[in-house]
Amino acid sequence: MSGKSASEEQPIGEVTHYFDHIDVMAIKLSSNLAVGDEIHVRGHTTDLICTVDSMQVEHQSVSQAGPGDSVGIKVTAKVRPGDHVYRV
């Protein structure tokens, strides 16, 4: 664990899709997100912390995205639609 409490995490979006054949989640952002940010995905059965190594908007690589954008991010474990995403 990163040592930060949940109260220090900032909500940044929600998982809308998970593509298990390529291990990518789609997130609808409510806040800014950039490559290099550490995120925490939480849900009923999900508890995943990872660093954003790369992300895409409309199949184009981007270094940052903002509120209203839908971004794709590669993950190391299964996540589920409806899971909440926080910046750590």
Phi, psi of 7 (to 5 degrees): -70, -20
Q: pLDDT per residue over 75-87, tens digit each?
A: 999 999 999 999 9
pTM of the model: 0.89
**Nearest in space to 75 (alpha carbons), one of 22, 9, 33:** 22
Query: Is residue 72 very low, low, confident or very high in pLDDT (cuts 50, 70, 90)?
Result: very high
Q: Please state which CATH number belongs to domain 7-87.
A: 2.40.30.10
Region 2-29 average pLDDT = 88
And the tokens for 68? 């209203």
Average pLDDT of the chain is 93
Confidence of residue 36 (pLDDT cuts 50, 70, 90): very high
- Token digits for 3? 């040592």
Instruction: Please report which confidence band the pLDDT of residue 1 belongs to, taking 50, 70 and 90 as the band edges.
Output: very low
